[in-house]
Structure 1
Amino acid sequence: MTLSTTRSAVRAGVLTTALAALLCTTATAVSAASADESRSARPASVQAEVPAGVTAGVAVFDRQTGAFTEQLNTAAPFRSASVVKLLIALDVLWNRSPEALSAADRARIDTMLRGSDDTAASTFWSANGSGAIVDRMVTRLGLTDTARPPATHPGYWGYTALSARDTVKIYRHLLDSAPAATRDYLLGNLRQSTRCATDGYDQHFGIAGSFNRPWAVKQGWSGFSSGGCTAPTAKAAAAAGEPEGAAAPAPAGADAVDLSRPALHSTGVVGAGDRSIVAVFTLHPGGTSYGKAYTDIGRLTRSLNVPGASRPAGTWVGTWGSGVRVRTQTTTASGAMTTLPAGVEVLVDCQKRGQQVSQPPYLNDWWAHLPQYGGYMTNIYLSSPENQVPGVPVC
């Protein structure tokens, strides 16, 4: 969207402190995008680049060489959030084939892994012994840093302690030791991860946003109030409020797992033949928005040396505003595909003119194509100094 003829004058006279901050964000996003291109060939000895204020545990394991290419705080335990659903699903299928599941249980596993459904996880947690599920899987898989939720929160499966290196063990078991039917069924669900989880959170951050398919992911989040996509249903919100809603006060003890800071995790396999296993666990300062955490874990994941990974083309650009919609075409009358988490960074591969949009005092008729969504957003909500994003080609 090109501004009206008065736009440059308006920008010169009305530029606010908030907009100036947005322009700084754009410069950071564009420079980060440029840096991403050079990082794809980084030597394995270079560690992950962790954004300021973020606490991270990272492990990347190359199954082709049998070696780690990235290791950072790999033994540090984090509250698992929904990543524990991997253990819940494996426990259900231990000594049982997927074909032996009831239709109801199969549907629960499908939605638990694809849409990170909390109600399904809570059903299995209650029916199969709660914390005993974790105890069994620790023994079966030889996990060293994994532990059931603290005694103060026994029903909160999302407070299970889990580390990056134990997560690599879980995926290695699934890929190399589990029965083929179990492997294919569970990974098949992880490959069908939906952008919008059943609780209304956009879950295609980290691995899913940093690399082209093929990938299979299980993500986790805890301690955020809003996650973009559609508003959660009352049922989903109630389920999320038990294990993964408002964060709990941290228990006493130097080695206690942090239950208070917002958590965002991305785990899975990447590349042809599921070559690399990636585990990225992050904690963010209190009050961090979902869009900011989403952006930070994206930048961290893109900095990693992940053998076999293919990176999407385009430029990463910051956004502003809340409830920004991604649409099927370059008009506000076209269908809304989803909404963006407020303030999130997006990948733009090209831009084109469409309907003029007004956000006083600005007008803009340029629209950005977001390849990872397969749709368009108005450029008026991109943190760019001009109506057209510099360096991004025309569609």
Structure 2
Amino acid sequence: MSRLLVELLQSDETVVVPLGVTAGLAVFDRETGQFTDVLNPDLQFRSASVVKLLLVLDFLWDRGPAYDIPAADRSRLELMLRSSDDDAASYYWDHLGGATIIDRMVTRLGLTHTAGPPATHPGFWGYAAFTAADTVRIYRYLLDQAPEPVRDFVMGNLHQATRYGTDGFDQYFGIASVFDPAFSIKQGWSGFPTSSGFGHDKSKPKQSAVDLTSEALHTTGTAGPSDRTIVAVYTLHPNGTGYGKAYTDVTRLTRTLNVPGAVKTPGNWVTTTESGVRVRSAPNTSGGVLGTLPSGVDVLVSCQKKGQLIDAPPRSSEWWAYLPKYNGYVTNVYVGSGGPKLPGVPDCP
């Protein structure tokens, strides 16, 4: 029996996986050297954008002692790591040898269940097979073995992840939604409308042991001071699941994890009731739009404040919920159970 499976049997089994979701996860406390939660740690998932970790490591592997990064590459890599840019990933996939990148990194990092995309889809970097356990190995290399310039560059960018990817998807689910303030993320999403064609292909039948068609949403990274705990959560969702539903399910799962050293952002979780809900800089429609939320997404609310009356029959309210993760407000008309004021949520100072 593997060490991971032994630790799973010894765990408190407190992880709650939402109904219909297939999950593989591993949570590793670097301070104690122990896994605190594991579930299906060697189950393979298509990586989606998490593969970008191996693309940047392969690029940096032979840079020499100075690790000089040309300006064009620095800009491209930063966009790939912070905003999950797919064009950048495709550029390095093509220029560094495609699936041979995966082969090299498997050997270099001692990965056990990572593989390139199936032969039927050689250009689909998002079809590389990853597991939660191997993802922990990647982060352990980055944090504990990589040369300092490599660690600082990669982790520095993951700590500055933007709320939205360059494809417009909100990537602050999971780790980023739950923990505050010290976290890093490299997320992955695939199979949702308008998400990257390099991460899913609904037109082709499944031709691999790895599920290539179900909606996939992954949250990986670190939480806690000094990147204390590594978190890797991979999920697949029933066919047709909307992004908002998957976003909420992954975040709810992440909330049940035992993540030593991490601080959960305080507040109350409420759910959006409409799509395209605008988050504004002030509790009125004159406030600048900071972002939008899909329907059915759990958001964290720390307080509520009186502002502009919004009348959208059958609901109306002059109260606005403050979302600390956005540093902005949404009208109570489009969050919660329907009352003008959110129950149990304090007034903002």
Bin of the TM-score, shorter chain as denominator length? over 0.9
Q: Does 1:347 align with 2:300?
A: yes
Ranked by relative contact order (alpha carbons within 8 Å, sequence separation 6 or more), the top structure is 1
CA contact (8 A) 2:67 2:150 kept: no
Q: SS at 1:282's partner residue?
A: strand
Which residue of 46, 59, 69 maps to 1:79? 46
Q: Secondary structure at the match of 1:56?
A: strand
Q: Any idea what SS the aligned residue of 1:100 has? A: coil
Q: Does residue 244 in structure 1 map to residue 199 in structure 2?
A: yes
Provide the rounded CA distance (Å) in 2 between the counterparts of 1:303 and 1:93: 35
Are positions 1:371 and 2:339 aligned together?
A: no
The equivalent residue for 1:45 is 12
CA radius of gyration, larger in: 1
CA displacement at 1:249 relative to structure 2: 4.0
Contact 1:320 1:383 (C-alpha < 8 Å) held by counterparts: yes
Q: What is the distance in 2 between the residues matched to 1:198 and 1:320?
A: 25
Q: Distance in 2 between matches of 1:44 and 1:307?
A: 14
Percent of matched pairs sharing the same residue? 57
The 3-state SS of whatever aligns with 2:307 is strand
- Asked if 1:154 corresponds to 2:109, the answer is no
Distance 1:252 1:298 in 2: 30
Q: How many residues align?
A: 338
1:101 aligns with 2:61: no
Deviations 1:264-307 (A, max 9, x none): 00001111121101000000001111000000000000100001
Give 1:99 deviation, angstroms: 4.2
Question: Does 2:257 correspond to 1:299?
Answer: no
Tell me how far apart the structure 1 counterparts of residues 304 and 14 of structure 2 sit (CA, whole Å).
34
State the alpha-carbon separation in 2 of the partners of residues 68 and 249 from structure 1.
38
Which blocks of at least 5 consecutive residues in structure 1 are unaligned? 1-42, 227-236
Distance 1:279 1:166 in 2: 9
Query: Whole-Å Cα distance in 1 between the matches of residues 207 and 160 of structure 2?
Result: 39
2:26 is matched with which residue: 33, 56, 59?
59
Aligned-residue offset at 1:248: 5.5
Q: Could you tell me which residue of structure 2 aligns to residue 37 of structure 1? A: none
Mapped contact 1:222–1:246 kept (Cα < 8 A): no
TM-score scaled by structure 1?
A: 0.83
Distance 2:201 2:260 in 1: 36
Secondary structure (helix, strand or coil) at the match of 1:363 reads strand
The match for 1:3 is: none
Q: Is the 8 A contact 2:321 2:331 kept in 1?
A: yes
SS in 2 for 1:144: coil
**In structure 2, what residue type is equivalent to 1:127?**
H
Q: Which is helix-richer, 1 or 2? A: 1
Deviation at 1:70, TM superposition (A): 0.4
- Match of 1:65, as an amino acid? T
1:91 maps onto 2:46 in alignment = no
Classify the secondary structure of the residue corresponding to 1:309. Answer: coil
Q: How does 1:207-286 map to 2 (within 5 A)?
A: 207-225=175-193, 240-241=196-197, 243-247=198-202, 249-252=204-207, 256-286=209-239
**Which residue is equivalent to 2:159?**
191
Counterpart position of 2:289: 336
Instruction: List runs of 5+ in structure 2 lacking aligned partners.
Output: 1-9
Amino acid in structure 2 at the alignment position of 1:251: K
Structure 1 partner of 2:243: 290
- 2:92 alignment partner, SS class: helix
Mapped contact 2:272–2:293 kept (Cα < 8 A): no
Distance 2:173 2:293 in 1: 12
Root mean square deviation of aligned Cα: 1.4
Q: Is the 8 A contact 2:278 2:292 kept in 1?
A: yes
The corresponding residue for 2:334 is: 381
